[in-house]
Structure 1
Amino acid sequence: MRKKLLKYHSYLALAALLPIIIISITGSILVFKAEIDQWLMPQVASLNYSPQQSSILERIDHNRLQAHVENSFPGFIIGSWEIFNDGIEADRVFLVKKGSHDWYKVHLDPFSGKILDNPAVMESQLTDWLVSLHYTFLLNGIGHEDSQWGTFIGLVVALIFTFLGISGLIIHRKFWQQLFLLRRGRSIRVFSGDLHRLAGTWSSPVLLILGVTGIYFNTIAYYHEVFEHGDEPHFEPQEKLYGDSVDFQQILLDSQLQLDQFTPTYLLYPFEPEVDITVFGFQASNNPFASNYSSTVNYKAENGDLVLAFDGRKASVTAQVFDSFRELHFGSFAGLASKIAWSFFGLAPFLLALSGFIVWLKRRRKPARIKR
């Protein structure tokens, strides 16, 4: 049984060697996506308010901000709006170009109303390009503009990744007896084998979390694009899809009344027919892994009337587990400490790939030498 499992473990690892290395390196970088954006684009992605200023800042009325964006870019409709109130990160407004399904992004200071850049296609900035590389290997759209080959391959790699983690623990079933054993001064095969076992053992909890959550996100994305949209072409809006009477500032205020301790973090606009206006947000709870999008309040697109308020704290256990996948995958649940840990252990697959390949190569060469 163990020999057969080792065989499958080796062959699948070799088959997914390059994708795993790409996922490992890009994932470790993207843990600090927001910080990298602020470092690379300090005048665009970040706000320069002091802590004293941040404590007294007030957002401009959302209707005014929205009108300013729409008047500045008449060739676009607003698709969604990521809201930040910390005086550190700029709001991110996602736009859909009229007559297409192409998404763009623009940054805005919600306290001064200043638009900080022009609409940029989603993959034009470094970290957004890395997200696409990490998630789809830049393969979506190959052969056909709506193809999802990259998402599908990402799903297969996530399944292999998870299998490798579980099978590795089974192969080294007494791993706890050699948690610190690293034999130096021996052959490169012995050293690589010990390094492979140690890296896999110590990083296995994080890697299994990343594998399972990766399976979930790729499955959801693939199902949405292939089965929900199917052969239907993407909707290409010509004009905004909400009524003129909708008061978005009132919607944001009302959402905080509908749910206890609710803080809006993301405003989804109707960018397709029959899509509600949805306010996503966070509620303080005992769940340390609750995401910033765990609770929602929905409103009708035509007039802004309340449809439904969903309290994420009262959701089913399954729904709360799925919601926690976001924080667990990106390692943001415990601030800087968890992000550093996730970035560090996220490089383990890169180390495992190299050390495992050396062990496999040496194992293959040994019978050849004996035969000669």
Structure 2
Amino acid sequence: MKIRRTLLWLHRWVGVVAGLVILFLAITGGMLVFQHTQDRWLNPGLFPHQTGNHAPVSKALEEVARKHPDMRVQGIRLPRDKHDALVLMGGNRMIHCDPSSGAILGIRPRMGLWWQTLVKLHVNLMLGTTGGLIVEIATWTTLGLALTGLWLWWPLRIFGFRKGANFRRFNLDLHSVAGLYSSLFLIIVCITGLTMRHLHLEHPHSPGSHAPQAGARRISVDAAVHAAEAALPGARAAAVEIPPPNPHATYRI
């Protein structure tokens, strides 16, 4: 009983403190889930109004090279769905193109976008390393709250609400039922979030290609995307890193 009372006290007051951080992370995370939809609503001119078959990416590259010869395209974000734009990135510019024609829809800065600020708020509260540590501690704490909550729930085994209960009892039942059914979800979210935090910088290094054949020409972006998707059947290419003008550099898709 002493252990149970101690855990109950910790569960209550640690939950109050950590809950404020977790509530903020839940709101920003929920907004990020719908980031693409919100962006299309806020900037309708940057997205195609009519849908059709996707033209080769090279058409958009040619259009950008013709109208913006000073820009070297370093990356491409391929359309997520039939309503999305083809985005070419270089320097501090993002050029949105119609994927069915290659026509330029609009240009905006590559940095300082609202959803990028939202990502920083979600990852580290815009406080750098200190904020990241706060988020990590709050996440570990939430994982502990989910596990201790299950331990505290077990002797009571509250699966529903009692009829005619006063507010205090109703509130206890509501907390018990909601905690029970959300605990598995919370455990998964915490573990995957912590894993993403520690692995988000670990990207594989692009291997250099073999010595190029004499007179050989670099394959097009479309050919590289086709080869990548053929190598992983069922997968969809999401983005392309354009290699610099180096005969040993490779596409990264």
Give the corresponding residue for 2:113: 124
TM norm structure 2: 0.76
Q: Distance in 2 between matches of 1:76 and 1:6?
A: 60
Other-structure match for 1:19? 21
The code of the aligned residue for 1:119 comes to R
Task: Give the corresponding residue for 1:135.
Answer: 123
Partner amino acid for 1:92?
V
Task: Confirm or deny that 1:62 pairs with 2:63.
Answer: no
Residue 96 of structure 1, CA deviation = 4.0
Question: Could you report, residue by residue, the CA deviation over 1:20-48 in whole angstroms, capped at 9, with x for unpaired residues?
Answer: 1101222233322222222222222x322
- The partner residue of 2:84 within 85, 89, 94 is 89
Q: Runs of 5+ in structure 1 lacking a partner? A: 98-103, 141-147, 226-243, 280-372
1:217 Cα deviation from its structure 2 partner: 1.2
The equivalent residue for 2:149 is 168
Partner of 2:221: 248
Kindly name which structure, 1 or 2, has the bigger radius of gyration based on alpha carbons. Answer: 2
Within a 5 Å distance, the mapping from 1:30-109 to structure 2 comes to 30-44=32-46, 46-49=47-50, 54=52, 57-59=53-55, 61-69=56-64, 77-84=72-79, 86-97=81-92, 105-109=94-98
- Residues 1:255 and 1:47: Cα distance change in structure 2 (over 3 Å): same
The separation in 1 between residues aligned to 2:249 and 2:140, in whole angstroms, is 32
Checking the alignment, whether the CA contact within 8 Å between 2:139 and 2:190 is kept in structure 1 is yes
Identity %: 23
Q: Does structure 1 conserve the Cα–Cα contact (< 8 Å) formed by 2:224 and 2:251?
A: no
Question: In the aligned structure 2, how far is the partner of 1:105 from the partner of 1:183?
Answer: 59
Q: Which amino acid aligns with 2:222?
A: Q
Deviations 1:191-250 (A, max 9, x none): 4333222221222222222111111111223x659xxxxxxxxxxxxxxxxxx9453222
Tell me, which stretches of 5 or more residues in structure 2 are unaligned?
Answer: 204-216
> Does 2:241 match 1:268?
yes
Secondary structure at the residue paired with 2:36?
helix
In 1, distance between residues paired with 2:65 and 2:31?
A: 34
Q: Distance in 1 between matches of 2:63 and 2:71?
A: 12
Aligned length: 238
Picking from 184, 187, 204, the partner of 1:205 is 184
For 1:39 and 1:93, the matched residues in 2 are separated by: 20
User: Which of 267, 277, 282 is the equivalent residue of 2:251?
Assistant: 277
TM-score (norm 1): 0.54
Residues 1:107 and 1:93: Cα distance change in structure 2 (over 3 Å)? same
CA–CA separation in structure 2 for the residues paired with 1:263 and 1:121 = 24
